[in-house]
Structure 1
Amino acid sequence: MYAEVIVGIQARRLDRVFHYRIPLELANKTALGSQVIIPFGHKKVSGIVVGFTEKPDVNEDKLKEIISVKDSEPILNAELLMLAKWMSEKYGALLIDCLRCIMPAGIEIKMQEKYCLGPGVNRQSYELLAKSDPDLVKVVKILLDYPEKEIDYKKLLKLSDDEEKTRNHLKKLIRMGLVQKKQQSTSALKPKTERLVSLTSQGQALTEEEGASLLKFAPKQLELFNYLKYLNKPVLFSVLDSKFKGGLSSAIKSLEKKNLVKIESKVVFRDPLENVVFPPSVPPELTEEQKMVVEEITDKFRLGGHGVFLLHGVTGSGKTEVYMRIIEQIIKLGKQVIVLVPEIALTSQMIERLYGRFQSQLAVLHSGLSTGERYDEWRKIRLNKSKIIVGARSAVFAPVQKLGLIILDEEHESTYKQSDSIHYHAREVAIKRAELNQCPVILGSATPSVESYYLARNNIYGLHTMTKRVGKSLLPKVKIIDMREELKSGNRTIFSRELQIEMDRALREKEQIILFINRRGFSTFLLCRECGYTLTCKNCDVALTYHFADKILRCHYCGYLRPAPSQCPSCGGGAIRHFGTGTQRVEEEVKKLYPTARVERLDLDSTTRKGSHEQILNRFKRGETDILVGTQMVAKGLDFPKVSLVGVVVADTALNFPDFRAAERTFQLLTQVAGRAGRGDKEGRVIIQTYNPDHYSITTAAKHDYLSFYQQEIKIRKQLNYPPFTQLVRILISGKIEEGVAKLANDLAFIIKNSLSEKQELLGPSPAPLLKVREKFRWHMILKGKNTNDLLALVKKGINQVEKNKLIGNNQIVVDINPQDML
């Protein structure tokens, strides 16, 4: 039996299994999904066992042996390995990248190169070498001067004058025996342990009187002994440390020497919900629509097998309660449930709802947790200690053993699409994973993606609809304000007269307000009114956003910062003005209008600290904030009964994007943010400010009319041959030299065009709308066709050809299946 291993090196030419002999001493440890250390060429590398075979692909005498197995048990089970292989085929990604994507952060074994001086190399030999080869000796001097015996490879290169020369010198010095190279694996994450202190059998046998006599000259030891005797159970060292101030360690050591106490280690789980209290909730009575949906879906999954159900319910219709009733039945069957939310910001509210109903059966998985917390949550799930897993996109890979249901809340959100590394869509992965486990998937949304709704209307998915809000609350009344008319009438402020009247009324009646604008910062850009110069990012082809509070200009793509100038850097003039509107400016204008109102802002800039997002929302929930200004963070899934007014400051932001989904995104955002109003006893009102009052995405959103929007949008998609009527593959080429990027894009396009069938189409290549991001120029092209696999085959053929012809150079090619944005 031979192991099939995927090596931990990112290279397309190595994207296949390599066969290794399994030494006898590792036969019982080497399992499917294990991490291993293997020899590969002249190096040791990490790898993952993905299979076994009786017949290797090379002569058995040439096979190398696995060096070591790094896990006590496999980190990936057979189902997750199958999922990784499917992702590799579906998204045209390297299998090693897919495996890493599924593994929890920090658990992967990494090999580290270190260098040290050879035996007998010292200052004297250095001086001799310096005379014969002064250039070569520079590396030896770095090693001699370094305070530690060994130096990391990357550190060594940083300390050198010329990295390329240093690499060559190292090879020569190793051949001469003057420098030695060592490889070692970095330790992966380990379970957290805490010390437990308890009485030994001898200590337990002592009476209090005997203990007092024995320890009469050691009062601290006696106090500790009596406390442990009283509790009669092991106690955490950290608990004792907080109770016995000072002298605890020496007291324990003394008692240990007398064989009265013992110290043991206990594995504990880092719990992100440890200090959070959620009161238990009582299940409310379901509405008729909720009852019908719960019955329809549960009847279908009782029959067994895989199925996808689209739950289309208006905002406030009680979709979360439907989820919980179905989850309850899945748990009774002894199975586990994964609940996905589109971003970390929404996990706290979903956790509160689920914890209130199901208490400690929850686990949380998202990137906002520490690496240790995520690792422990991953372990709890794998050990079947958690029945419900809540998290953002990556929680779809939770290592559940008995998967019974996956729920995607707000399934339309573009944040379910991974934007770097592997461009996977969590919705597609969830559906495939449910298929592998023969269990259902529920996709929930008030504004389903056009693709999902199309599949539901064509009976590929089950369609379940809820048209009414829970209780007495009604959908809010929406009014569209034409800002062109406001300008004509002399109103040059960012707030229409109607919105100001409604804000006056809401504050007077002690109600809460949400103001939405999908732009961070104070203004969109700074411009010189004398010469027309716009301040742009030095690394990206975008205008810098002005942040008023810090008086800085920031790039929201690469993070570049610079102080806001008082004079134009181009002409030296003083007519620098800021244009456009962002969240900071809205916040400032609101504070000027209503100086006594309590105003807060919710965007990426205001939530950089851990827990700050929850703190802002909790203050708003408790009524400590009157007006909440925010980006799309305030538009999704939040439920605040005291909010009676929502103001959309600028509704046109998404409409102006060069993307065929622009109208859909606008409709979804407006409908979702409008849905935050009127969820309690008060009637909700929404003011939408726009310069495109007749656009169908805005007029249908104002009427809460998804069906009318869908009917108009689907006609346009069909005419232009866009999804769901075709499949798209975007190829993005990037690099530091624009001419090289453009040449590679044209060379690749030429190869692909020569292989196109009649029903396939290639758009481009052309410069990407964002030509430069993080110092790299970007060109792209779009492939259209009915079958994704056929399109991917064309792309792979093209990439293989340019690789073979050595045309890629230092440029990068990224393949994105059915992209969520075209920027």
Structure 2
Amino acid sequence: MSRVTCFVDVILPLAVPNLYTYRVPYDWNNSIAVGTRVIVQFGRSKLYSALVRRIHQNPPKQYAAKYIDSILDETPIVNEKQFELWEWMSQYYMCNIGDVMVAALPGGLRLASETKVVLNPAFTSKSKDDRELPLLSDKEVLIIDALEIRNVLSLQDISEIIEQKTVYPLIKSMIEKGVVFILEELKEKFKPKIESYVCFTASADDEDNLKNIFDALERKAPKQLDTVMAYINLSKRYSKERIEVKKSDVFKMVDGAEAALKSLVKKDIFEIYEREVGRLANYKSENKISSLNEVQQDVLESIKKQFGADTKTDSLIEATSLLNANTLSIIPAEGRGEVKDVVLLHGVTSSGKTEIYVKLIEEAIAKGKQV
């Protein structure tokens, strides 16, 4: 039986236009699979975790293929459907497939020489006796000790510390054990929106105490009294359902409320707390599609009628719908020998096309279909 030499075409997490071919060591022929990550050298000294896209037996003609350094995964982490989607995205958005890979894969799956590693806070919060050190190798313990001193290490730093060229499988193991995290340089690019809220303290919330507070403020601190009254109005204190009050809303109602609020906090009348608020919290209410007008409804029914036409007949179901504020007309696409389930909707700017799209999308989703 002849010895088979396998090669792999890999996707690198870089903005390069092509796949690159590497040679598979003979002993790994049965371990390699499409969709798994392999460590490869690209350039003189840089190492990257690349994705295997194809396996074949054809060596590259332009250069001598380097051997892959190691295999990171026992089973594929990307399937064929996902690869097809990546390739479509690469063509549609005119970018390199390596760019798509970088966007699609979590940071922990994209290892490179420059990758930064930090200790997992959940691991460092444990005492040394509770860290289950017997489950860690000597080299992993050495890396932990180094991270406790330096906080952040690159894979190149780790390679030098443990005097080992390939550290990717080791770091992968430590990630899976929950010991370390990959530090993403862009992890702070999105910052959650934090709002400051105002509320009465427990003592001030009592009605009897609140009456005494009113009397005291009315005599000595009218601006503080205005601030308290603004809070009561905003919180709807005496209605069935109270609501939280943002500090910024109080400032909008009362000029100069900043100093007054600080004084009220010192007097243990108010307390300020912060919490994260969703940026899309009001999406549904603010972006709800209103009901269609008469022209839009006619267009919608016309589109649905054409979509539902009998494709076994010669009736044409492709048409152009001209939509503006006053006119609706259907122009048949004559002379087409092929029947298609396509309707072209044409309308001037702000004529209401989007509302029609949304209605069609809602109906498709309600039927369990995809859009």
**TM-score under structure 2 length normalisation:** 0.41
If asked which structure has higher relative contact order (CA below 8 Å, sep 6+), I would say 2
